[in-house]
Structures are given as structure tokens and as C-alpha cells.
Amino acid sequence: MESKKLAAEKAVEYVKDGMIVGLGTGSTAYWAIQKIGQRVKEGLSIKAIATSKQSEDLAKELGITLLPFAEIDEIDVTIDGADEVDTHWNLIKGGGGALLREKIVAAASKQLIIIVDESKLALELGQFPLPVEIIPFGFEMTMRKLQKLGAEPVLRKAGDQAFVTDNGNYIADCHFGSIAQPEELHLTLNQIPGIVDNGLFIEMASVVIVGYANGTVRQLEK
């Protein structure tokens, strides 16, 4: 936890007065939102867009002013976590179930700052199962199509029921093994009817900040 917190606090240094800030989702983004909230109490003036209801609720609790997308053209900086980061800074995201909103916010951002602990770094993506957001209608057929691509898809559950995203969809966690060509897989997946989007974020990260168990923080160089 401490390494995630350190990386998150380092990332918040990028947030300046007057900015519109994207707030990520998950255990690492939680610490960034907490730090932004603290800085707002100290006088920082920003407005934010949250990537999930969970992050929205936390931002409201901390007194961070939230905006709807209708009121903005672009986001200055978004701070978010990742489940895996390869050597080209391609990401797997969606472990927290918010991949679609995270991708919409990331694509609208001038800068996407990714914060992780050292356990999330990988030579190639694929150890972490790839989350794929799918429409509930006909989801069994979509799961079979994922299988035909060589995945082992598992429908994410919340207790006995299917997990439902903030957008009313399901998530299939797909074990592909090593993903040598993430860009190709991303395009292939998104051409399947029934798939809304997937957790591959290709060349979207502007900065990657890593927290280490020994208490150090490093900003990666490409």
C-alpha cells in the first residue's frame, strides 16, 4: 500500500491551479484522489471528471468540484492506475471494472499519468487477465467468440450474480497468456459485435510513475 501511495503523491505534483483533472479508479488512484483532496483543502483550485461512481463519491466527500463532460473540450491531466505495464508503456486496465470510462477520460486527456507499484511492471502483457466489457444481450455468444480467439474468458462475478459495470455491462476476464501484439489484439477484439471495449490501453500513457517496496519512487524513461 505504501508504495502505491508514494507513486500517487508524486503524480499529484503534476496537478496545477486551474486544471481540469481526470480521476482514475482503483486502489492506487484512491491515494491520488486523497492527495488532490488534501491540496484542494490547502487552496488548490481545480475541477475534475471521475471515471467511476466510486471515484465520484470519494471526490465529493473530499470537496473536489466535479464537472460533466458536456462542459469541457479536453482534460489537462488524468491520474490513474494500471494492472500491468509493459516496456512500451502499453497497459492492461479494468481490474476495478471501470475500463470503458477510464478509456474515454484518458482519450480526452492531454496527459495520462499512470501510477503503479513495481509488481505491475512486465516485459509483455498477459499475466493479468485482460478485462473485456461486453453487452449483456447475447453475452454467451460473445464469450464463445472470445474463446475462438484463444482466450479463456471468465464472466466476472459479484457474489452469485454477474458483476455489472457503471454502464450496465458485464466483464469477461480473458486469459490469453503472453500478449506479444497488444495493438493487433485490441483491434481484433473491438471488431466483435457485443464487445464494447477492452482493457488494452495502447500508447496512451504519457508518464509512468512506479512506487517501490523500499520506499523509493521512480518516473520511468522510455
Q: Which CATH architecture has domain 130-197?
A: 2-Layer Sandwich (3.30)
Quote the Cα angle for 191-198-135, to 5°. 70
Closest Cα partner for 55 from 69, 41, 36, 77? 36
> Which residue, 140, 151, 204, is CA-closest to 176?
151
2-119+202-214 adopts what CATH topology?
A: Rossmann fold (3.40.50)
> Tens digits of per-residue pLDDT, 199-218?
999 999 999 999 999 999 99
Distance CA 94, CA 83 (A): 7
Cα separation, 74 vs 107, in Å, equals: 9
Nearest-10 Cα torsion for 204, 29, 122, 93? -60
pLDDT digits (tens, 9 = 90+) for 69-107: 999 999 999 999 999 999 999 999 999 999 999 999 999
Among all chains, which residue has been given the C-alpha cell 493479468? 128
**DSSP letter (8 states) at residue 28:** H
pLDDT digits (tens, 9 = 90+) for 130-182: 999 999 999 999 999 999 999 999 999 999 999 999 999 999 999 999 999 99
CATH 3.30.70.260 domain residues, the chain: 130-197
CB contact set of 126 (below 8 Å; sequence gap of 6+):
84, 92, 176, 177, 178, 179
* Catalytic residue set: 102
Helices 2-11 and 27-41: crossing angle in degrees, nearest 10, is 50
Q: Per-residue confidence at 221, pLDDT binned at 50, 70, 90? A: confident
- For 30-144, list the strands marked E by DSSP: 47-50, 65-66, 75-81, 84-85, 91-92, 109-117, 130-134
Domain with CATH 3.40.50.1360 in the chain: 2-119+202-214
Residues in the chain: 222
pLDDT digits (tens, 9 = 90+) for 7-54: 999 999 999 999 999 999 999 999 999 999 999 999 999 999 999 999
Q: Give strand pairing partners of 92.
A: 84, 200
User: For residue 97, what is the DSSP state?
Assistant: S
Per-residue pLDDT at 1 exceeds 90: no
Q: How many CB atoms lie within 10 A of CB 53?
A: 12
